[in-house]
Amino acid sequence: MFIFIAFFLSFSLFADEFYLDYPNCRVRLDKKTMSLEKDLLSVLKDRLKMRKLDFKAMPPSNRIGMEQLYLELEKKMVGLGYYKKCQMKLTLFVTKNDYTNKKRDKKLFVKAIRRQYPRLTLEGKERCVLAIKDLFVHVPPCGRRPPKKRRLLNP
């Protein structure tokens, strides 16, 4: 019981520390991400809006500016048999130069999830949609932390 209370208190103390503090909260989507199916791209855009991130497509020259955010979402269908697992990998980068370079740029966030269920269709779109939703559970929202409310001891 004591371990549960200690875990809960430690989580509540540090829960407001997970914010991306960037001035414009704009993230660019790379070409591989923009080439996903329309269903998956719409779920991705909805999840970005929920995390208070504004999104735009990557320009053809890959020049987005220094210390800007860009996102790469990879989709793979893996496994044997008719029903393949959907593996999604989300990587959030910060540029060090004016141009994007995935080898050189800093990775802010990397998460990969593999969904095997539900098995409704052979193509696995429902598994990939749920994998995107699962990924965004871990993505921190953008913006500044809300100020802590002061509580009066004796109101």
Q: Per the domain annotation, does 151 fall within a domain?
A: no
Higher per-residue confidence, 100 vs 151: 100
The one-character DSSP state at 37 is -
Cβ proximity of 68 and 28 under 8 Å: yes
Q: Per the domain annotation, does 146 fall within a domain?
A: no
Pairwise CA distance, residues 137 & 21, whole Å: 18
What does the pLDDT look like over 64-116, one tens digit per residue?
888 888 999 999 988 888 888 899 999 999 999 888 988 999 998 899 999 88
Q: Per the domain annotation, does 19 fall within a domain?
A: no
Banded pLDDT at 18 (limits 50, 70, 90): low
Q: What would the DSSP string read from start to end of 52-86? A: T-EEEEPPTT-B--TT-EEEEEEEEEESSSSSPEE
Q: Per the domain annotation, does 149 fall within a domain?
A: no
Q: Per the domain annotation, does 7 fall within a domain?
A: no
Q: Compute CA 131 distance to the chain's CA centroid, rounded to the nearest angstrom.
A: 11
CATH number at residue 67: 3.30.160
Pairwise CA distance, residues 138 & 23, whole Å: 21
Q: Per the domain annotation, does 118 fall within a domain?
A: yes
Q: How many domains does the chain have?
A: 1
The pLDDT assigned to 90 comes to: 92
Q: Apex CA 73: angle with CA 38 and CA 123, to 5°?
A: 50
The pLDDT assigned to 147 comes to: 65
Residue 101 domain boundaries: 24-135
The pLDDT assigned to 1 comes to: 53
- Which of 7-16, 20-29, 126-135, 144-153 has the largest mean confidence? 126-135
The pLDDT assigned to 123 comes to: 75
> Whole-prediction pTM value?
0.76
Q: Per the domain annotation, does 144 fall within a domain?
A: no
Q: Per the domain annotation, does 66 fall within a domain?
A: yes
